[in-house]
Amino acid sequence: MMEATQAAQMAGQIVERVRRDRIWERLQELAQFGALSDGGVNRQALTTADMNARAQMVRWAHGLNLQVFTDAIANLFIRLEGEHADWPPILIGSHLDTQPNGGRFDGAYGVIAGLEVLNAIRDSEQRPLRSIEVVAWTNEEASRFAPGMMGSQAFTGRWALPEILAIRDASGVSVEHAVAQVLAADMGIPHRPLKRPVAACIEPHIEQGPLLEEAAMPVGIVTGIQGTLRYRVRVIGAAGHAGTVPRTARRDALMATIAMIQAVDALCEREQDSLYTTGMLEIMPNAPSVIPAETYFSIDVRQRDNTVLDRLRRAIPETLAAHAGRCAIDVREIVHAESIEFSESIREHLAGSADVLGIPSMPIFSSAGHDARHLNYLCPTGMLFVPCRAGISHSPDESANPEDLEAGTKVLAHAVWRLASH
């Protein structure tokens, strides 16, 4: 076992080789894949743009003489082999896919920060005892294929691979087909099994909220992620003439939908101000003088307290049924993710690295979901946030300071080297 003091000394040498300009330039280069004219990025999972970003990651990896691997769900791994190749690795990374109108930092920062750590280690000509792997998880965002976080859930075994592969996008293309295309374009990158043992995992990410910027803190040590419930509801009524069908004879799907949305919102407000959103609503046939025959809408609920989340999970389907009136409803739960707390030892470890480097940090709770949620069930896991401008994300206006991105990467490099030293 390497002496702790010696490991800390070497960690300092690696941190010195973290380069702000390289992080920034790689982020801009990656943003070319799926670039939109307004400065945003549309790089949805398993599309050509996503494949091109992946190919760029592979070129950078090969340029540093690092190993590249993939798996049955097309997660991408870049590995710097340690002296003990058989020890489970330290995993760092995030995702390369974006929302249709996304930005340059969400997901990409975590992958580029990870690559920078490996680059800095290469530049220092040191070799860790334990291998370090950078990962880009497949389909975190759920914009093309829903639900998201497919790569991390397949890897940890939280979700069965055949079920994931059967999911289709809006045009009928299956995950299985899209993954096969990506793997075919890889040109011989070796495959490794899912559910490999991992020693620890750290996901760096932009905050996607305003707290770090308001506190002028370059780094947040994430304490946990709040729970999420998501549903898709189909409401089936009957079409009819807007001017001739009397009120008593109507089965208006939209009126029933409005009643259901208001009732569930009121329920969520009563339950400790749980956040409720219906962000998607389709109306059929969507004609001005026809009574809506059918609607399809989403429900998204966020809550930190798992007891409250469980109560809501029981009450939401009942509330929907009680307010459907004369319409029939089909309620599908698509996400039930409990509120989680990250490993205390990883949190202390990250905070310790920030302290040693003189980089201010503060604990912060994540209101958004991340792949690290699923890794947390497999191995000691943590997250590190950096500020983003005005808390904006999932938008072309998403931005971050190069200085903060560098500070986050330095804390990551210091923490990861020490984790890889025993």
Residue type, 145: F
What six digits make up the tokens of 2?
Answer: 């390497």
Between residues 106 and 213, which has the closer beta carbon with respect to Zn ion? 106
Shortest separation between residue 323's beta carbon and Zn ion, angstroms: 34
Q: How many residues bind Zn ion (CB under 5 A)?
A: 2
Q: Is 121 helix (H, G, I), strand (E, B) or coil?
A: helix
User: Which of the ranges 72-80, 106-114, 263-271, 276-284 carries the binding residues for Zn ion, by CB under 5 A?
Assistant: 106-114
Smallest distance, Å, CB 205 to Zn ion? 6
Which C-beta is closer to Zn ion: that of 137 or that of 417? 137
Minimum Å gap between C-beta 152 and Zn ion is 11
Among 40, 89, 102, 107, binds Zn ion (CB under 5 A): 107
Q: What is the DSSP string of 49-115?
A: HHHHHHHHHHHHHHHTT-EEEE-TT--EEEEE--SSTTSPPEEEEEE----TTB-SSTTHHHHHHHH
Shortest approach of Zn ion to residue 203 CB, angstroms? 9
Q: Is 133 in the site for Zn ion (CB under 5 A)?
A: no
Alpha helices in 101-172 (DSSP H): 108-124, 150-156, 161-165
> Which residues, at least 6 apart from 168, have a Cβ–Cβ distance to it below 8 Å?
145, 174, 175
**Could you tell me the smallest distance in angstroms from the CB atom of residue 106 to Zn ion?**
4
To Zn ion, the closest distance from the beta carbon of 351 in angstroms equals 22
Q: How far is the CB of 228 from Zn ion (least distance, A)?
A: 14
Binding mask 235-274 for Zn ion (x = CB under 5 A): ----------------------------------------
Class of residue 101 by CB neighbours under 10 A (exposed 0-12, middle 13-18, buried 19+): middle
Taking CB under 5 A as the rule, does residue 114 contact Zn ion? no
Stretch that binds Zn ion, among 103-111, 196-204, 254-262, 309-317 (CB under 5 A): 103-111
Contacts (Cβ under 8 Å, ≥6 apart) of 339: 224, 225, 226, 227, 303, 304, 305, 306, 309
Toward Zn ion, which CB reaches closer, 7 or 136? Answer: 136
According to the binding rule CB under 5 A, does residue 71 interact with Zn ion?
Answer: no
Q: How far is the CB of 393 from Zn ion (least distance, A)?
A: 8
Does 106 sit near Zn ion (CB under 5 A)? yes
Around Cβ 46, how many Cβ atoms within 10 Å?
Answer: 25
Q: How many CA atoms lie within 13 A of 404 on its CB side?
A: 24
> Which lies closer to Zn ion via its Cβ, residue 106 or residue 294?
106
Terminal C-alpha separation, the chain: 6
Residue-wise burial string across 9-19, b where 16 or more C-beta atoms lie within 10 A, e elsewhere:
ebbeebbebbe
In this structure, what are the phi and psi dihedrals at residue 85, rounded to the nearest 5 degrees?
-65, -20
Return the range that interacts with Zn ion (CB under 5 A); candidates 63-71, 101-109, 144-152, 341-349. Answer: 101-109
DSSP string, 283-303: EES--TTB---EEEEEEEEEE
371 near Zn ion (CB under 5 A): no
Instruction: Indicate whether 50 belongs to the interface with Zn ion (CB under 5 A).
Output: no
Least Å distance between CB 271 and Zn ion? 27
Residue among 15, 4, 65 nearest 414 (CA) = 15
> According to the binding rule CB under 5 A, does residue 398 interact with Zn ion?
no
Residue 207 binds Zn ion, judged by CB under 5 A: no
Q: Which is nearer to Zn ion, 102 or 292 (CB)?
A: 102
Cβ proximity to Zn ion: between 106 and 116 the closer is 106
Cα–Cα distance between 58 and 74 in angstroms, integer? 13
Nearer to Zn ion, 121 or 136 (CB): 136
Work out the angle between the directed axes of helices 402-419 and 4-15 (0-180°, nearest 10).
150
Task: By CB under 5 A, name the binding residues for Zn ion.
Answer: 106-107
